[in-house]
Amino acid sequence: MLAQGAGAEIVDTIICKRARPDAKLYVGTGKAQEIALAVQANDIELVLFNHNLTPAQQRNIEREIKVRVVDRVALILDIFALRAQSHEGKLQVELAQLQHLVTRLTRMWTHLERQRGGIGMRGPGEAQLEMDKRIIADKVRMLKERLGKLQKQRQTQRRSRARGGAFSVSLVGYTNAGKSTVFNALTAADVYAADQLFATLDTTTRKVWIEGAGSVVVSDTVGFIRELPHMLIAAFRATLEETIHADLLLHVVDAASPQRDEQIAEVDKVLEEIGAADIPRILVFNKIDLTHLEPGVERDERGTISRVFVSATERLGFDALRGAIVEASQAEPVVVSSIDNDDPRFRTQSPSVSPAADARS
C-alpha cells in the first residue's frame, strides 16, 4: 500500500525471516544476492525495504545490489512530500526530510548549495561533508523558526475558540480509516478524501452546531501508521497540537480491516507519545457497510458510550454519533481507548503479517 501510494509498480516481493537483522546488510549475504538476481532478472530500478535501515546498512545493500534502496521511513517521507498541499504542510515535510537526510550525507556532494549560495560558506580546510551538514543545519533552523510562528498562530486561534466556549472534537486514527469522509459527513464540509494512505496531511477545522452540545469545533488530522518516523511526529507537532488540546477524540477505525486491532493499538501508542493519552476517547467503527455490523452505539460497564458504528460513505449512524458527542460534552471525562476482545463481534484472527506489511517490494 505504501509503495503503490508513492506511485511504484511492484515487480517482485522477497520475504526474509531472521532471528535478528544482519548488522551489515540487514538481510544477510545470501538474501542480498537473491535480491540482486531479482533486480537483474526483472530490470528493477528501486528496491524498497519495509523496515528502517541504518545509513550504513543502506549504503552496503546498495553496493551489493547496484540499485537505489529506499527504506520504510524514506518511503513514508516521500508520500508525505507528494501529499503536502498547504504552506505549513510543505514546511513540516521538508523539515522531516532534512532531519532524515543529515544522517545519510557521507560521500554525497552538496546538492543544497544552490539554494543558499556557496560563496563565503566554506571555512579554511573545511570538509565537504561538514559544509553539507552546516547548510542543512541552517535550513532546519530556518524551518523551525517559520513553524514556530505558525504554531503561535494556531495557539491564538485555539484561545479564541476557547473563549467562545465551543466544545472541541478531533478525529484521529490509522491512515486510510476514513477520517476525512467522516469529517465531511459530520460537518457538511468538502475536504479532500480518497482511498489512499495519507490523503490528509493538513489539519482542517470546521464549526458545526449540534443540538444539545451547541457550537462544536471539529478537526480532521493526519493519519497515523505503524513505525511512524519520529522526525515526522516532531515536525508535525504544531498540527498534532489540535489533537492534544481537544476536549474529545473520535478514534476512527476501519471496521473492515483485518488488522483492525493492531491499528487501534498503534494509534493509541502515537497518542501517548504526543501527550494525548488522557483525553476522553470514543471509538468510531467506520465502513460498517463492508461488514456485518449495524449502525448504533455500545456502552461500557459505566454506561458511557465507548463505540459508535457508522458508514461515512453511506451516511449511516451519524445521528448516533452526534448523540455521542452531545453526551460527551455534558459528561465527566472518561478515557476509552481499548476494545473488548472477548466480544466475538470484535474478535479478529491475528494476521500473519503486520499492518502495512504488503508494502514490501
pLDDT in tens, 163-207: 566 888 999 999 888 898 999 999 887 765 655 566 556 677 888
**Residue 180 known to bind ligand:** yes
**Residue 19 known to bind ligand:** no
Structure-block grid coordinates of residue 50: 519495509
**Residue 60 known to bind ligand:** no
Clarify whether residues 59 and 194 are in a common domain: no
Checking if the pLDDT of 145 tops 60, the result is yes
**Residue 254 known to bind ligand:** no
Residue 247: inside a domain? yes
**Residue 212 known to bind ligand:** no
* Host H or E run for residue 38: helix 29-42
Checking if the pLDDT of 237 tops 70, the result is no
CATH, residue 334: 3.40.50.300
Residue 338: inside a domain? yes
Residue 282: inside a domain? yes
pTM exceeding 0.85:
no
Q: Using one digit for the tens of pLDDT, what is the confidence trace for 48-81?
A: 999 888 888 998 999 999 999 998 888 888 887 8
Tell me the pLDDT of the chain averaged across its residues: 79
Clarify whether residues 42 and 176 are in a common domain: no
127-163 b/e (C-beta count within 10 Å ≥ 16 → b):
eeeebbeebbeebbeebeeebeebbeebeeebeebee
From 13, 43, 70, the end of a domain falls on: 70
Q: Using one digit for the tens of pLDDT, what is the confidence trace for 73-126?
A: 888 888 878 777 777 778 878 888 888 887 776 544 444 444 444 444 444 445
Clarify whether residues 339 and 201 are in a common domain: yes
pLDDT at 130: 75
**Residue 198 known to bind ligand:** yes
**Residue 22 known to bind ligand:** no
**Residue 286 known to bind ligand:** yes
Clarify whether residues 65 and 203 are in a common domain: no
Structure-block grid coordinates of residue 34: 537473491
Phi, psi of 335 (to 5 degrees): -85, 125
pLDDT at 3: 86
Clarify whether residues 26 and 171 are in a common domain: no
Residue 99: inside a domain? no
Residue 337: inside a domain? yes
**Residue 178 known to bind ligand:** yes
Clarify whether residues 60 and 169 are in a common domain: no
**Residue 215 known to bind ligand:** no
Q: What is the share, in percent, of the chain residues with pLDDT greater than 70? A: 75
From 55, 70, 85, the end of a domain falls on: 70
pLDDT at 347: 42
- Of 256, 263, 314, 313, whose CA–CA distance to 285 is shortest? 256
Give the domain range for residue 177.
Answer: 164-348
**Residue 201 known to bind ligand:** yes
Clarify whether residues 182 and 326 are in a common domain: yes
Phi, psi of 171 (to 5 degrees): -90, 125
From 47, 70, 93, the end of a domain falls on: 70
Overall domain count for the chain: 2
Between CA 282 and CA 291 the distance in angstroms is 20
**Residue 56 known to bind ligand:** no
**Residue 54 known to bind ligand:** no
Residue 356: inside a domain? no
Clarify whether residues 44 and 183 are in a common domain: no
pLDDT at 163: 55
Sign of CA dihedral 25, 27, 29, 33: negative
**Residue 340 known to bind ligand:** no
Clarify whether residues 204 and 339 are in a common domain: yes
Between CA 219 and CA 211 the distance in angstroms is 19
**Residue 221 known to bind ligand:** yes
Checking if the pLDDT of 337 tops 70, the result is no
**Residue 174 known to bind ligand:** yes
The pLDDT confidence band at residue 334, using thresholds 50, 70 and 90, is very low
**Residue 312 known to bind ligand:** yes
**Residue 202 known to bind ligand:** yes
Q: Using one digit for the tens of pLDDT, what is the confidence trace for 11-20?
A: 999 998 889 9
Checking if the pLDDT of 317 tops 50, the result is yes
**Residue 313 known to bind ligand:** yes
Clarify whether residues 205 and 321 are in a common domain: yes
Checking if the pLDDT of 302 tops 70, the result is yes
- Our CA dihedral for 144, 193, 9, 66, rounded to 10 degrees, sits at 10
Residue 209: inside a domain? yes
**Residue 338 known to bind ligand:** no
**Residue 224 known to bind ligand:** no
Q: CB under 8 Å to 129, separation ≥6 — which residues? A: 105, 106, 107, 108
